[in-house]
Structure 1
Amino acid sequence: MPLTPAPSRFPWWKPTWWTPLRADAALAAGLFVVQVLLAYAQPSWLMQTTLVTFLWSAVSLAPIVLRRTHLWFAIGLTAFLTAVGTVWPDALLGGQGVALWVLAYTVAVYEPWWRAVLGTAALWLVNDLIWVWAYQHDLMRDTDGRQLISMSAGIIVNLAVMVITFLAGRTVRARREASAALAERALAAEANQQAHAEQAVAEERRRIARELHDVVAHHVSVIGVMSTGARRMLHRDPAAADEALATIEQTSRTTLRELRRLLFVLRSESAQADDADGLSPTPGLSGLRTLVDQVCEAGLSTSLRVDGELDVVDPGVALTAYRIVQEALTNSLKHAGPARAEVRLSADGRELTIEVFDTGRGPHTRTLTADGVPAGTSGHGLLGMRERVAVYGGTLRTGPRPGGGFRVHARIPMEQAGHVMVAETQAEV
């Protein structure tokens, strides 16, 4: 597979102008400086410290600059510069050997298997042929005429260096491919998780829309019945007709608020709402006692505590509170183990506070995501809670309790049906 550049782990030290071409040019310049320093160290078998040999060393290192932009041209150029040694023996003391090592490593890293083998074999074949030619022409001797290395030993050393360079390059390539594959898998997993979360939210929104529809339909039915009664009692009993009209006014305002919330949910959902209707009646806060009794019968000791008047809570808010308590107690039944749970509701006229906690083991902190959803599970229930609370502009917090167990805490603003601001009245008129 072709290698794609992986994002750097340390992007702060690599400016935008630091391109591969400039990096390779800096590498070639550094190797040239090393060769010049070695020449002035004057081992008896190295090149002479003359301008011509220095220029030739720079030319022989030039293919390194092209190793990542024109790799095969650089390989051919290195082979040609190495073969020049058959005409000009002093050229063998240039930088072709260093360039050969660098290019052999590069072709092993950046090319597929068969092309890497072909490039490495071509480089080292030219190198070994020139080595044999130089040895036969007594060029592998120092200034005192002593042989630097035998021909067989030189070939073995060249072969060992070739294998090591090739394996090092292939190892680096394998690690890069593995890192790229892991990065792709991580991106795919993240996208899949996001898709599941969006699907869960969409399903919950459709469910909320259906339940809000039930609430609105009930209010509209009440308005219809009370309107008929008011029309019939208008002349016979004006007081009763006035009371019916007041009920119609309150119910219509509540219906308007529920319609606004319903439209908000539907606007947030790109797909069409599911047409299937629920068969069970819409629950409310009055059903919490029955719900708690059912949980107790299922094996989880649960208590219910209510502070404040819950009769003024709008049906939509009451339905949301019921679903939050239901989902929280269901999670406690599944995960708490031997424990007890407590449900607390408090209404102060401005907001409804819902708190459900248990004393069980609950999910460990390390297994929770940033949203408080247990990792490794779908988390659709908690996502549904969060979506329901968001519809009414409330807040939801979920997580482990300091003393053990799990806690769900929600606050939902209350809109009382009997109190309407003057600005709202003018807007509706």
Structure 2
Amino acid sequence: MNCLKKLLFLSAAGLALTGAAHAQAPLEDRLAVLEAMVAELKAELASERAKGDADIVRIETQMAATSAPAAPPPQADGFRVGDATVKIGGIIDLDAHVTHLDGGAIASNSIARDFYIPGSTPIGGESTTFTDFTAESTRFFISASQPAGEGSVTGYLEMDFLGSAQGNELVTNSYSPRMRRAFVTYGNWLAGQEWSTFQNTSAIPESASFLILSDGMIFVRQPQIRYTHGNWQVAIENPNTPTITSGNQDANTLPDAVVRYNWKGDYGNVSLAGLARQLRVDEAGVTEEAFGYGLSVSGLLKVGARDDIRFNVVGGEGVGRYVGLAAGREAVLSPAGELEAIPAFGGLIAWRHPFGKTARLNIGYSGLFLDNPSYVPAARTASVQSAYAAVLWDVAPKVTLGVEAMHGIREEESGADGSISRFTFSTKYAF
């Protein structure tokens, strides 16, 4: 029986009870019955009201959900061109250097004016001091990736303006771009110009200048074909044989071969790499060959909550152009006319210490030591060493300011040496 029927029934019952009070049961009993019926009616009314309130809440919730604006879709990384996802990025970089040389000068159009190249430190001249502002290390890249089979194929092209022979500092400082990296990856394969597999790029110290501690650093970009499987990497790479007596030889018949194994975990990463090379000279119809090899251990180790240590150690025979930005040579023709590989040993270590919210201190040391044969000319480089300290801080998202001081020494086989001291201020914006 619904509430309305019960209400009508209750009213009729009340009238009947009142009109026939003298003929029926005692008045107290009749009132008790009436009160029970009223209580039942109140309970049913309360239940009906609760159901109505629940319906109202449900309807309002549905309306709110319908009228609320939809959550914005996640921001896409890159943009679509046909089936490919294309990304563009890079850095805009200004470096201001004040450089002091105690043994001569560096030509104004030399790339060694833009960043530290150990083998370019002059020896035996007058001391000089000069200031340079450069934006040539500004860099941009473009990549494209699209589905292919069960995976994807990706192309990457990166360029900057360092070492340009086009521009000058007279009026416009107009410099042409140069290719840094250009490669394609598909599955486990990479083909193109990329960092050498012999190099672990995470070991490169953070710096205000374009590059620091390059003396004992493995630093090579070159064309290659690389295969990666799990922690293993195997590659064949572009060969070349810089020599002391025969210049820069490009007569190799076999590519350089690299095998590398990588460890990675919460502690950072470590790589062990081996290099095998053919050293070859073809001059005036006479061909000489030698075997070159190198071993390296490099990586980045986390220390404490935010600090890290970056390092590489490398040694071998005929590894000259892989270490120190070619500060030494890889081979030399002996007086007997035989090609001899030159032993070399080097490395670097750098400590990165964040402090405050966005600042960090970086300090480090690097060195390369060559074991040239006794018949090598006395003016050939015997060793290069450097140390540096830099403070960098992010003043806005992706905007970094830095100050840096470095000091380097180059020594020849004769014992003569020259030094370079450089102070750098830099601004970088990554996009």
Say yes or no: TM over 0.5: no
Which has a greater percent of strand? 2
Structure 1 length as normaliser, TM-score?
0.22
Alignment TM-score, normalising by the size of structure 2: 0.22
Pick the structure with more helix per residue: 1
